[in-house]
Amino acid sequence: MQPRTGVVPGIEVLLTDSIHLVRGKRVGLLTNHSGRDRAGTSTIDRLFKAAGVTLTALYGPEHGIRGIAKAGEKISSSVDSATGVKVYSLYGDVHVPTADMLRDVDVLLYDIQDVGARVYTYQWTLANAAAAAKKPIIVLDRPDPIRADRYEGNILAMKFASGVGQHPVILRYGLTPGELMRYLVGARMIDANVTVVPMQGYRRSMWFDETGIPRVNPSPNLRNLDAELLYPGTVFFEGTTATEGRGTDDPFTLIGASWMTDADAIAAELNARELPGVRFEATTRTIEKGYKFGGETIPMLKVRVVDRNAVRSVEVGIRMLRAIYARHPTDFKWRQASIDRLAGTDRLRLAVEQNTVDALVKEWDADAVRFAAMVKPYLLY
């Protein structure tokens, strides 16, 4: 029996109230391990067994349809062992579905749990697929896990568009997957025929753990809600020679480097700033092999969330970058192309180097106000 309380995700609404959208049609599904109902049943299995629905193709984003591939790892196309349905990878040699991949599809469904951050790749896989498909797209909506009423960071400058940000969207964008697609289509950033199947019982102020939907890690290195909350800021460290915590027990809440031997002093400096909702602690971790500093035990900063409603995650990342850079201007190095793509601008890198991050924070706060006004017509909840 299905649970009867909490937020009802789009897949359940589709099958109970909106089945007419797919009945009698050949259905393609862009999904991964996070696409499931409240009982934990995969959206793949729900659609495969649904009367009047013919599931003809599956499409997998970064990490694959089962969510086990590493970040950035190319994935080959295959056949789903449970259903026998062809699985096309959209994170390998191609990033958009080709005409051949869509030949047996009348409508393309999307059901993936996102994290509300521009640099996460799932939403751009959807946007690319929607623009390329030239067929109806149905988004089965899901929550923004870190609240859908908070906007942070800068609006991406198109000269820095990439796979981690393809359109003028803010870093912490405060939208559900369906709302983001409504914005991209409504603002004429992509040309697509998109229908959203909304959730039932959802409020914008909800955190994911308030929805009643069982948690599934959206990707291998986002293992809890605190990590997802901090991710829009700490992800910047992917574009540096410091580690963002991959290869530890809690990526994106742990930042460090072998040369950061003054972690205690950096933590004290950051705590003196009294950034809302967080505290910093010096610690150490042994990094798994295959990651930055693999096999080494290194000093790190642990970011502890003490009031999640107060956290400004993008500013946390900015202040950490500056504090570490200021003490280690030689050892700390940028992966320049990467940091500028992640930030959607070169302004972050330059502000950290030139010690103008106070002005940058104010500039990006103004971007957040603008973005909130831009997306307001496309909100569903």
**pLDDT surpasses 70 at 3:** no
Q: Say which range, 1-10, 158-167, 193-202, 306-315, has the weakest mean pLDDT.
A: 1-10
**pLDDT surpasses 80 at 130:** yes
The whole-number average pLDDT for the span 10-32 is: 97
Model confidence at 95, pLDDT cuts 50, 70, 90, reads: confident
Model confidence at 1, pLDDT cuts 50, 70, 90, reads: very low
Q: In what order do the strands lie in the sheet with 107-111?
A: 78-79, 86-89, 54-60, 26-31, 107-111, 137-140, 194-197
**pLDDT surpasses 70 at 323:** yes
Which is more confident, 129 or 282? 282
C-alpha R_g of the chain: 21
**pLDDT surpasses 50 at 12:** yes
**pLDDT surpasses 50 at 193:** yes
Calpha distance 16→18 (Å, rounded): 6
- Hey, what amino acid is at 27? V
Q: What percent of the chain has pLDDT over 70?
A: 98
For residue 138, which phi and psi values (nearest 5 degrees)? -120, 120
**pLDDT surpasses 80 at 34:** yes
Strand residue runs (E) in the chain: 26-31, 54-60, 78-79, 86-89, 107-111, 137-140, 152-155, 170-172, 194-197, 254-256, 278-286, 297-305
Question: CATH topology of 10-216+373-378 equal to that of 225-345?
Answer: no
Q: Say which range, 65-74, 110-119, 185-194, has the weakest mean pLDDT.
A: 65-74
**pLDDT surpasses 90 at 41:** yes
Q: Say which range, 42-56, 68-82, 140-154, has the weakest mean pLDDT.
A: 68-82
CATH 3.40.50.620 fits 10-216+373-378, yes or no: no
- Which DSSP symbol is given to 243? B
**pLDDT surpasses 90 at 152:** yes
Measured in Å, how far apart are the chain's first and last C-alpha atoms?
A: 27
Write the pLDDT tens digit of every residue in 244-262: 999 999 999 999 999 999 9
- Which DSSP symbol is given to 291? S
Q: Say which range, 39-53, 54-68, 179-193, 237-251, has the weakest mean pLDDT.
A: 54-68
The whole-number average pLDDT for the span 318-346 is: 98
Q: Transcribe 92-115 into DSSP letters.
A: SS-SS--TTTTTT-SEEEEE----
Calpha distance 159→154 (Å, rounded): 14
**pLDDT surpasses 80 at 376:** yes
Q: Is the CB of residue 311 less than 8 Å from the CB of residue 303?
A: no
Calpha distance 130→248 (Å, rounded): 36
**pLDDT surpasses 70 at 4:** no
Model confidence at 5, pLDDT cuts 50, 70, 90, reads: low
Q: Is the CB of residue 274 less than 8 Å from the CB of residue 306?
A: no
Q: What percent of the chain has pLDDT over 90?
A: 88
The per-residue pLDDT for 65 is: 84
**pLDDT surpasses 90 at 73:** no
The whole-number average pLDDT for the span 205-229 is: 97
What's the token pair of residue 90?
């959209």
Calpha distance 287→248 (Å, rounded): 6
Mean pLDDT of the chain: 95
The whole-number average pLDDT for the span 330-359 is: 98
The whole-number average pLDDT for the span 63-73 is: 76
Which is more confident, 288 or 96? 288
Sorted by where each begins, the domain ranges of the chain are 10-216+373-378, 225-345
Residue that the structure tokens 């793949």 belong to: 44
Write the pLDDT tens digit of every residue in 350-368: 999 999 999 999 999 999 9
Q: Which of 159, 155, 154, 71 has the alpha carbon at shortest distance from 120?
A: 71
The whole-number average pLDDT for the span 278-299 is: 98
Structural fold of domain 225-345: Aspartate Aminotransferase, domain 1 (3.90.1150)
Q: Say which range, 16-20, 124-128, 238-242, has the weakest mean pLDDT.
A: 124-128
